[in-house]
Amino acid sequence: MGPLNKLVIPPFCFEVQTNIPLVLENLSNIYGQQFKKTNQLTDFIVRAERSGGIRRFIKPQARFFSDQQEPFQPLRLQQAYAMLEWGMNWCVATHEMQYVIIHSAVLAKDNKAILFPAPPGSGKSTLTAYLAFNGWRLLSDEMALIIPRTKTVQPFVRPICLKNRSIDLAKEWFPNAVFSSVATDTHKGDVIHLSPPLESWQAANIPAEIVGVVFPHYTPAKVLDIYQLNQTQSFMQLAENAFNYGVIGNEGFETLTAIIEQVPGFEIFYNNVNEVAKFLEQELL
């Protein structure tokens, strides 16, 4: 068998099968040289395909498969690329046990990494985009892959998922950046994916050491409120954002414990991303 279309995004390789031109266009646009024909060993086989039957002509839909599993309901065809990105997240979050996985953005300077665990609506991805294009290295927008019993985080560089008003804000901030097509009216609202700067792609194999954990909350009425968390508070919030904490047992507990015992944890409320960047650089690096 000859080379196949694959996404090589360390530490994983996805074989991508699709019959949807919009998906292919976005993959090439967003990932560039990471999306290519190669014989590299595959970790996950994923498919984004157009629904058959009468659906091809009336309200066409897209379906996502991981091997033979279909974890999501079909979505509208124009949402197919966003569904593929969410599907790849699902593959790693539900199957990968080599790392302790935290639902968190990860950014670094001088290989010193900060975790930003946060629920939807916290402004995490907007903050992530701002930092990634202002001197920070993006390791991940969605999940921190932590080597068990260490503070070392493995990059998993992917596009940054932006929603609703953050889309216009990012396009205003970074007019020359590479954006995907917009998936409108998803369960998250309007969604777009932003390709990180070239430096982040180039450093996709360089791990970083965690030096801080920050739980961000975007609050329009507050300039910047910062609360340092005690170890119990940090541990509980970190555990709440862990995908596989309960599955890998002692490794997960010992890893989170090692992190919160050695690095400070903060909860921040902000309405100005530049003020957050100043705090991070002055207090955590």
Whether the pLDDT of residue 229 is over 80: the answer is: yes
Name the band, by pLDDT with cuts 50, 70 and 90, for residue 56: low
Q: Bridge partners of 189?
A: 186
Name the band, by pLDDT with cuts 50, 70 and 90, for residue 249: confident
**In order of start, what are the domains of the chain with their CATH numbers?**
4-95 (no CATH), 100-159+196-283 (3.90.228.20)
Report, as an integer, the average pLDDT of 261-268: 94
Name the band, by pLDDT with cuts 50, 70 and 90, for residue 37: very high
CA distance 95 to 241: 16
Mean pLDDT is lowest, of 50-64, 192-206, 226-240, for 50-64
Summarised one tens digit per residue, pLDDT across range 117-139 is: 987 777 889 999 999 999 999 99
Report, as an integer, the average pLDDT of 238-245: 86
The alpha-carbon radius of gyration of the chain (Å, integer) is: 19
* pTM, to two decimals: 0.93
Whether the pLDDT of residue 9 is over 90: the answer is: yes
Q: What percent of the chain is predicted at pLDDT more than 90?
A: 80
Tell me the DSSP string of 122-167: SSHHHHHHHHHTTTPEEEESSEEEEPTTSSEEE----PEEEETHHH
